[in-house]
Amino acid sequence: MGFRLSKIYTRTGDAGETGLADGRRVRKDHPRIEAIGEVDALNSQLGLLLADLAEQEGMWPGLSEIIEVLTPCQHRLFDLGGELAMPEYQALQTAEVERLEAAIDLWNEEVGPLENFIMPGGSRLIAQAHVCRSLARSSERRCQTLNAEEPVRAVNLAYINRMSDLLFVASRLIAKRQNIQEILWQPAAKEPDREG
């Protein structure tokens, strides 16, 4: 890589604009910057999930497989951020989407069908997987907003969509591997009808 940051602040963004790799200046709330920021937030939270999984791996050896599948996702999310920052740059390939789909199918077989809505929680790991899942959905929305204005490659949209699916199934698999009962949604109790 030829790019190195020799200076962290440049003062060029103080007026609310930032530069893209192609030299364009855009508002910091431009849909492209929003998408980059949301993917970055997901990557940061995924890093936290991976750190927590690594800490618990000795206690729950079944977590190793989850770490192996999720670790490359951080790098691919960085690639996605790069593509969003440099639209002419193409890093993600269809094989990466297929890798996620294979993991989703395998893990889904193990956890079994979903019979009710589940709540984030039960353990810190499960809750953090759900935080990542919700950020993946938010990233997808930001990428779709950008796509409505400026085209985003279909493989990028597919990848971020599969990430949320993968993280949902990962949260269920973590619960199973930790022997923790999933927290099922409990609808509010209905009050009896009152005649006026």
Which tens digits make up the pLDDT trace of 27-73?
677 888 999 999 999 999 999 999 999 999 888 888 999 999 999 99
- Over residues 114-173, the pLDDT tens digits come to 888 888 888 999 999 999 999 999 999 999 999 999 999 999 999 999 999 999 999 999
Q: Would you say how long the chain is, in residues?
A: 196
**Topology annotation, domain 28-111+118-184:** Hypothetical Protein Ta1238; Chain: A; (1.20.1200)
For residue 28, the model assigns a pLDDT of 73
pLDDT band for position 9 (50/70/90)?
A: very low
Asked if residue 1 has pLDDT above 50, the reply is no
Asked if residue 26 has pLDDT above 90, the reply is no
For residue 93, the model assigns a pLDDT of 96
For residue 3, the model assigns a pLDDT of 56
For residue 67, the model assigns a pLDDT of 97
Asked if residue 111 has pLDDT above 80, the reply is yes
CA dihedral sign, ordered 47, 49, 55, 60: negative
For residue 113, the model assigns a pLDDT of 86
3-state secondary structure string across the chain: CCCCCCCCCCCCCCCCEEECCCCCEEECCCHHHHHHHHHHHHHHHHHHHHHHHHHHCCCCCCHHHHHHHHHHHHHHHHHHHHHHHCCCCCCCCHHHHHHHHHHHHHHHHHHCCCCCCEECCCCHHHHHHHHHHHHHHHHHHHHHHHHHHCCCCHHHHHHHHHHHHHHHHHHHHHHHHCCCCCEECCCCCCCCCCCC
Asked if residue 81 has pLDDT above 70, the reply is yes
Phi and psi at 27, nearest 5°, equal: -60, 150
For residue 24, the model assigns a pLDDT of 77
* Tokens, residue 46: 């995924």
- Single-letter code of the amino acid located at 102: A
Contact 74, 47 (CB under 8 A): yes
Asked if residue 5 has pLDDT above 90, the reply is no
> How far separated are the first and last CA of the chain, in Å rounded?
74
Smallest CA-to-CA distance from 118 within 21, 186, 72, 71 is with 186
pLDDT band for position 92 (50/70/90)?
A: very high
Would you say the pTM of this structure is higher than 0.95? no
